[in-house]
Amino acid sequence: MRKYLFALLLVGNVALAQQKFACIDPNRILSESKIVKAKEAQLRSKVEEYQKRLDQINKKLEDLKKQIESRAISQSVREQRIKEYQKLEAEGMELQQKAQRELLEIKGNMEQQIIDKVKAIGEDIAKRQGFTGILDCSAFVYMSPEIDITKEVIQRLDSEK
């Protein structure tokens, strides 16, 4: 029985020894890739665009609030300003919700595009170089630096149009 178990372990270890793995560091891709930085800049630009619009609405709301609180206006004008304030406040809330939805969707699409490209590049590298699998580098307790293919992935990702 012991011999059988030992032989089984030996065969299993030989099979594992024949496996060839590589790894990718997603954090390095996010921090070093030019295409990722460009997509982040696009997202920031969209955020700034919405923020400017929301700031304009907030400024108008502040002005209306001052007018409403002023004792120099008539009751009918005050009531009109209150209606304007409420309408503008609702528009601001609607714009904020629209911005959140749109920005989440844009971010999700961008992330998915990057993930899909990294997977395709990783798969191509694995096939060309004979890797059994590619893991996240953080999955290894120890790894030889030679199995880290992050640099190649970043170069290929940034070279794609």
Mean pLDDT of all residues in the chain? 88
* C-beta neighbour count of 155 within 10 angstroms: 13
HSE-up of 136 (CA within 13 Å, CB side)?
6
pLDDT digits (tens, 9 = 90+) for 54-70: 999 999 999 999 988 88
| The pLDDT of residue 72 | 84
User: Residue 25: which H helix or E strand, with range?
Assistant: none
What residues does each domain of the chain span?
20-159
Residues 117, 26 contacting (CB under 8 angstroms)? no
pTM over 0.85: no
Region 20-159: CATH code: 3.30.910.20
DSSP letter for 34, please. H
Per-residue pLDDT of the chain (161 residues; tens, 9 = 90+): 555 444 444 444 445 557 899 999 999 999 999 999 999 999 999 999 999 999 999 999 999 999 888 888 888 888 999 999 999 999 999 999 999 999 999 999 999 999 999 999 999 999 999 999 999 999 889 889 999 999 999 999 999 86
- Residues near 127 by Cβ (< 8 Å), separated by ≥ 6? none
Burial label, 121 (beta-carbon count in 10 A; 0-12, 13-18, 19+): buried
How many CA within 13 A on the CB side of residue 130?
A: 3
Structure token pair of residue 68: 């409403």
Distances (CA, A) of 150 to 20, 123, 135: 16, 13, 11
